[in-house]
Amino acid sequence: MDEYLMVKGIVCPLCQTKFNTTKVKTTKLRMTDRDTDFCTYYKDINPYFYEINVCPECGFAFSDSYTHSIMDEKADQFKKEISSKWIRRDFGGVRDMDQAIETFKMAITSGEITGAKHSRLAGLCLRLCWLYRMKGDKDEELRFMRWSVKLYEKAYQLEDFSGEKSMDIGTVLYLLGELNYRLGEYESASKWFNIAITKLTNAPEVSASKMAMIRDRWQDIREDIKRVL
Ligand SMILES: [Zn+2]
């Protein structure tokens, strides 16, 4: 194991197997750049490669923030659809880009079968989109960006973000504006930034810094959008 990585013990939330996986030492992370949709670049090591834990016994793939318990019927469905065909594989150790991509696809499938929230699936699709960006695969980057947008839209319609620590309404609306802009969907981008600014100004749950970020980004791109629409 090199100087950037460490071994962490994990318990599978689906089958309760204990296994080891590799994580990046956060003290070693040096951020070098960040895109406007939050895709972040680090020197020497890519922590996204190690974000997903894959249970070697049952094939369930999940991030560290996956803490809610899985309903029995959903667990049974996963065992029937995935575990029954799963041939034991260990994703511990050092991962490359293609293995990292595979783990995110497995996490999306795992989440879909076990009833993960739309916002969680949207976040997984967005990270997968970033990995394809880093790989230089534009078609796949845009495919997962579109998928992420659809899921964030559903999340906005159906989910309550008031008690969420990992995702807030300001970030969801910002991403809906930003990702639509990146996809060239300028009318939708304009719609979502307008919703964000109208709905969230003076909303107590959205911080002043997040509001400033939304306004600044809208300021930056609205002239560009106006020229086209
Ligand atoms: Zn398992």
Query: Has residue 37 got a pLDDT over 60?
Result: yes
Measured between alpha carbons, how far is 112 from 69 in angstroms, rounded to an integer? 15
CA of 75 to the centre of ligand 1 (A): 10
The predicted model gives 199-222 an average pLDDT of 91
CA of 60 to the centre of ligand 1 (A): 5
CA nearest to 63, candidates 115, 36, 23, 17: 23
Helices (H), the chain: 72-81, 97-113, 118-135, 138-158, 169-182, 186-200, 208-228
CA of 164 to the centre of ligand 1 (A): 26
Other CB atoms closer than 10 Å to residue 18's CB: what's the count? 10
Which pLDDT tens digit goes with each residue over 142-192?
Answer: 999 999 999 999 999 998 887 666 678 999 999 999 999 999 999 999 999
Give the per-residue pLDDT at 165.
Answer: 66
- CB proximity list for 1: less than 8 A, separation 6 or greater: 7, 22, 94
CA of 19 to the centre of ligand 1 (A): 9
Q: What is the pTM of this model?
A: 0.94
Q: Is 80 helix (H, G, I), strand (E, B) or coil?
A: helix
- Locate 192 and state its tokens: 């979502």
Measured between alpha carbons, how far is 5 from 145 in angstroms, rounded to an integer? 29
CA of 97 to the centre of ligand 1 (A): 23
Q: Judge whether 4 and 23 are in contact, CB under 8 Å.
A: no
